[in-house]
Structure formats: structure tokens, C-alpha cells
Amino acid sequence: MTDIALNTTHGPSRNWGKLALRWLLFTLLGIFALFYLMPLFVMVTTSLKSLEEIRTGSLVAFPREVTFEAWRTAWSGACTGIQCEGLRPYFWNSVILAIPAVAISTILGAINGYVIAQWKFKGANLIFSLMLFGCFIPFQVVLLPMARMLGIMGIAGTIPGLIFVHVIYGIGFTTLFFRNYYVSIPQELVKAAKVDGAGFFRIFWSIFLPLSLPIIVVTVIWQFTQIWNDFLFGVSFSQAGTQPITVALNNIVNSTTGVKEYNVDMAAAIIAALPTLLVYVVAGKYFIRGLTAGSVKG
Amino acid sequence: MTEWLERHIPKMVLAPSFIAILVFVYGFIAWTAWVSLTRSRLLPKYEIDGLIQYERLFASPRFDTAMMNLFIFGTLFIIISMVLGLLIAILLDQKIRTEGVLRTIYLYPMALSMIVTGTAWKWIMNPGLGIEKMVRDWGFENFSFNWVVDPDMAIYAVVIAGVWQASGFVMALFLAGLRSVDGEIIKAAQVDGIPSWRIYSAIIIPSMAPIFLSAFIVLAHLAIKSFDLVIALTGGGPGYATDLPATYMYAMAFSRGDIGQAASSAMVMMAVVFAIIVPYLYSELRTKHD
């Protein structure tokens, strides 16, 4: 912890300067807060206005008359191309896509991390480096062969296909998270357990897993955010009916038929953002930990 | 037999993931690299035919624009996010009672999909109804802010949205860095009467060099991968004024049916990432093993 409030030089004449500085500080912080909050504010207020009010009123004004019509349309009536079922089916696509993809990649990451951190064998570090490197590649470089591979496997354009893709390209990160967590657990623990006759899986199950709650939370949040917010894989490997919510949102916003309904666009954007925002608000601490862990190395 | 099994279980457990990475990362990179050397169009061909795709790529004005945009966007996005992130981190480091709330506000954009960010900013910067109209309604009749539809300015609109999304995250990195500086040195400097701006510029910031590097790597990585943001905000337009290599690659692969161009542009993206990441990873792994 550093202890560095704006340096104080004593004496009553300095107090005014200090106070002014303090005000300046809060003003600046307030302006920045407004900059970050403004888009959210505009999204929410726009989504609650009628189109008429949007055309006549100001961007940053509160709605004169609150209407949830746009939300209803966004959820169950907006057109994504030729279909007009709103975001609802795509929201559920994203849910049934994210749950297994997050679960499988987290489980694989845990077991991989456990091996790499605690059961070192010759070449384990090389394997880890290769996996780590896989986190950094621009996914464009695997899009074409993956599209063909999914076709060969018979899961092109399906949700299982998307789950498969997210699991494969999520393993690197989840392994990294668990490896870095398990590496700080003393190896004597495994040795002692082995002497007591416990095997590989028993040690994982009874010793490591119970210690893992924080890193499981971090990994699940990280993976959920990544997968829910993904657009590139979604748009490349889905077809009409299996698209995740980000793709549907983009289709609603960019659909060229009919009147542009900005209030519906904003309601749809908020719906698409809600799950990850909720996770952020509820578990912000773990979210930030994942971000910094994943970024200092990822 | 059971002893053999016991000894090899760790390897067997790791094997599926390892094989998956080998095939789906390294094998696929090799496939893309191979195809980038062929005359593939709608369907992949496997006869190697030299650097024809790369010649086409670098002769293409559209890809030229995409690379230029990546350079403009990347540079501004990285510099502005870093400056803003560092500034806010220092301001937040002044014993602010509401720090927790403010931090939450500054960082929440990072939880959003870039599609959401793009959608929101597209609306805010809408020339007819967004900021432009708002300021005109305030009485500034000649005010103009139509960056999203102006081919010369659209890429800067992408920068604004990108900075909004990522700068809070840089702030969090820097704030953690500021907090990890040795408090004793700072106390000593304070006792010596050194003003705080000097303490920051001469002691704290120089000691955060590794965090600057991390932030740079993350931001550069985000910039190269930026695809969704452009798609949602400008769709690559007007025309192809805001194309990035990522959107170029996607257009070639999925709408133009030009696999050769898609593969070669993907390899160029890969090369850019390599140039930035490999030295970093190398130094990281080396210091770990020593």
C-alpha cells in the first residue's frame, strides 16, 4: 500500500490550495465517470422512449413518457433478416451454448493445470508453452480449416459445433489459470498423499479440488464472458436458427428493412449485455482477477 | 500393470488436450499457411504456387487501407488508453473514499461485448439524431460530428469506442501496479519534502515498467483482433474506409469466396501478432525458468 495523498505542506495559507486541488481531483474523476456512464445512460433512456420522442427530443434527455414497447419488440418481435422472433431464441442459443462450453473447458483446464503444476514430466513445460501460445493467435488463422473440419465432423452450423470450437480455444486460458494457481501449492502435499497410498485422481478430488473454489470462480467468469461476448466464432460457424445472441443483435441493428427503430436496437443491446453485466456487478472482484491474470499473460 | 498405469496417468490425462491443441492450433495454422501459397479461390487447392496470394494482397488497395487503419487505430487506441488509464489510476490513488464505486464505473465496459459497444456508440454518434443533433439543439447550428459516415474520420470513431471499452481495464492494471510499489521509498521521499508529482514521475512510474509492457501487449492484441467493434460500429464502411485486416480476412473467406486471399491475410495478421508477442513470451518464459 502506498501512502501518497497529494503532498501536504503545512501552514494555513496552503489549506486553500489543498482544498482546491481536492475539488479539481473530484471534478476530474466525476467527468471521467460521466464519460464511462454516458453510453449506458443513453442506451437505457433511448430504449424507454417512443420513436417519436427519439426524433424530437434530445439524446441525453430522460424519457418524457416511459414505454417498454421497444423491450417487448427486442425480446420477441424484432427482425434478424427474414425472421422476426426477436432476441429470445438467440438468447437461449447463447445460454445452451455457454453452459456446456464453460463447464467442459473449465474441467479440462483444472485437470490439465493439475498435471502441469504438480505431476511434472519431461516435456510438460514445452506442452504448457505450446498451449499458452495458442491463447495468443488471431483466430482468423484457424477459421478456414475449422469451417471444413466442422463440416467433416458433421456439426457445421450447429450449437454442438460452436461448443466444440469454444472448448478447443478455451483450453489454453483455463489451463493457464489453474496451472498458475496450483503451482503455488507445495509439492510435498502430493508426495505425502502418495505415501499414504492416494492415487492421481484421489489426490485431485480430495485435496486439490476443495482448495480450488476461487480459481474455479475466476475461470468460469472469464470463460462465460468470453463465450457470451464472442462474435467471430458465432458469425463464422452458425447458420440461421443457431446464431448466438451477439450475431442476432448485430443482425437486428443492421437489418435494412423497414423503419430504423433505435429504441429497439438499444433494448436489444442491453438484453445482450445483461448477463455479463450482471456477473460483473455480482462478482466484480473475480472478474478483475481473471482479467489481470489472463492479461498479464494473455 | 497398475504401477505402469499410475506412472503414466498424468500424461494420458493431458494427452487429449495436447493433441487437440496440436491439431486445431498448430495443424490449422500450417493448413492456412499452406493454402496461402496456392491459387485457391472458392475451394482450397493444394498445389503450391509461390507467393502469388501475398503479391495480390499487397497490391490490393483495400488491404492497404486495412493495414493503414490497423496502424492508425492501433497506435491511437494504445496510446490514448494507456494515458487515460494511467491518469485515472493516479487520480484514484489519492485516497478517494468512493474508490470502489468509481472503479466499478470505469471498468464495466470491459464486461460488454464489442458488438454492444459498437451498437451503443453507433447510436450516440448517429449524425442525424446523436451528439450532433444534441449540440445543434443547444444552439450551435453549425456543429458537425459525422465521423461514423465520413470515410476520412470513421476510423477515429472506432478509436473512441475502443478507448471507451478498454481504458478502464488499463486503469485497473495500473492501479494494481501503483499499489505494489514499495511504500517505504515513497514515505522516505515524502519526508524529504519531494512534491508528489515528482514522486510519481521519478519513482513510481519508472518502477512500473513491466505493467506498461503488459498493458501494451494486451492492447496491441486487442487492436489486432478488433473485428466485432468495426463490424458493429461501421460495418467496415463507409465503403471500406474502416476495414481492418480482420474484417478483410472475414470478407474474403465468407462473402467473397476467395480462400487464398483470406488465408494470406490471416497469415499477415499472425505475423503481426508474432512480432509483438514472441519477444514478450520469450522473456516471460525465460525469467520463469531461471
CATH code assigned at B166 = 1.10.3720.10
State the nearest Cα–Cα gap between B11 and chain A, in angstroms: 8
Q: pLDDT band for A297, please (50, 70, 90 cuts).
A: very low
Lowest mean pLDDT among A171-175, B45-49, B60-64, B105-109: B45-49
CA distance linking residue A1 with residue A61, whole number of Å = 42
Q: pLDDT band for A8, please (50, 70, 90 cuts).
A: very low
Domain that holds residue B215: 61-289
pLDDT at A295 (0 to 100): 54
Q: pLDDT band for B146, please (50, 70, 90 cuts).
A: confident
C-alpha cell belonging to residue B114: 464489442
CA distance linking residue B129 with residue A46, whole number of Å = 11
Residue B236 within any structural domain of the chain: yes
Whether the pLDDT of residue A9 is over 80: the answer is no
Residue B108 within any structural domain of the chain: yes
Read off the pLDDT of each residue in A199-225 and give the average, rounded to a whole number: 90
Structure letter (DSSP) for residue B38:
B
Whether the pLDDT of residue A262 is over 70: the answer is yes
CA distance linking residue B19 with residue B233, whole number of Å = 38
Instruction: For residue A169, give the nearest of A140, A208, A210, A205 by alpha carbon.
Output: A140
Residue B87 within any structural domain of the chain: yes
Would you call A127 and B18 a contact, using CB atoms and an 8 Å cutoff?
yes
Would you call A269 and B116 a contact, using CB atoms and an 8 Å cutoff?
yes
Q: How far is CA B269 from CA A201, A274, B27, B80, B279, in A?
A: 41, 32, 17, 23, 16
Q: pLDDT band for B225, please (50, 70, 90 cuts).
A: confident
User: Nearest 5 degrees, angle CA A48-CA A65-CA A67?
Assistant: 40
Question: What are the residues whose beta carbons fall under 8 Å from the beta carbon of B21, sequence distance 6 or more?
Answer: A130, A131, A134, A168, A171, A172
C-alpha cell belonging to residue B260: 487464398
Structure letter (DSSP) for residue A119:
S
In percent, the amount of chain A with pLDDT more than 90 equals 43
Residue B242 within any structural domain of the chain: yes
Read off the pLDDT of each residue in A267-284 and give the average, rounded to a whole number: 91
Residue B27 within any structural domain of the chain: no
Would you call A134 and B196 a contact, using CB atoms and an 8 Å cutoff?
no
pLDDT at B165 (0 to 100): 93
Read off the pLDDT of each residue in A30-56 and give the average, rounded to a whole number: 90
Q: pLDDT band for A151, please (50, 70, 90 cuts).
A: very high
CA atoms lying within 13 Å on the CB side of residue B85: 30
CA distance linking residue B173 with residue B161, whole number of Å = 20
Q: pLDDT band for B121, please (50, 70, 90 cuts).
A: very high
Q: pLDDT band for B289, please (50, 70, 90 cuts).
A: low
SS3 state at A238? strand
Lowest mean pLDDT among A141-155, A167-181, A284-298: A284-298
Would you call B24 and A296 a contact, using CB atoms and an 8 Å cutoff?
no
Between positions 167 and 226 of A, the ones with CB within 8 A of B are 168-169, 171-172, 175, 199-201, 225
Closest alpha carbon within chain A to B97 = A26
Residue B40 within any structural domain of the chain: no
In percent, the amount of chain A with pLDDT more than 70 equals 92
Q: What phi and psi, each to the nearest 5 degrees, are found at residue A41?
A: -60, -50
CA distance linking residue A257 with residue B127, whole number of Å = 20
Instruction: For residue A210, give the nearest of A115, A129, A110 by alpha carbon.
Output: A110
Q: In this complex, is the C-beta atom of A228 within 8 Å of any C-beta atom belonging to chain B?
A: yes
Read off the pLDDT of each residue in A27-45 and give the average, rounded to a whole number: 93
C-alpha cell belonging to residue B146: 459525422
Whether the pLDDT of residue A143 is over 60: the answer is yes
State the nearest Cα–Cα gap between B50 and chain A, in angstroms: 19
Chain B residues with CB under 8 Å of A108 CB are 17
pLDDT at B114 (0 to 100): 93
Lowest mean pLDDT among A68-77, A286-295, B272-281: A286-295
Q: In whole numbers, what is the pLDDT of chain B averaged over residues?
A: 87
Q: What phi and psi, each to the nearest 5 degrees, are found at residue A283?
A: -125, 40
Of B91, B114, B273, the CB nearest to A29: B91
Residue B217 within any structural domain of the chain: yes
How many domains are there within chain B? 1
CA distance linking residue A85 with residue A241, whole number of Å = 11
Residue B173 within any structural domain of the chain: yes
CA distance linking residue A43 with residue B123, whole number of Å = 9
pLDDT in tens, A78-130: 777 777 888 899 999 999 999 999 999 999 999 999 999 888 888 888 898 88
Q: pLDDT band for B150, please (50, 70, 90 cuts).
A: confident
Q: In whole numbers, what is the pLDDT of chain A averaged over residues?
A: 86
State the nearest Cα–Cα gap between A56 and chain B, in angstroms: 9
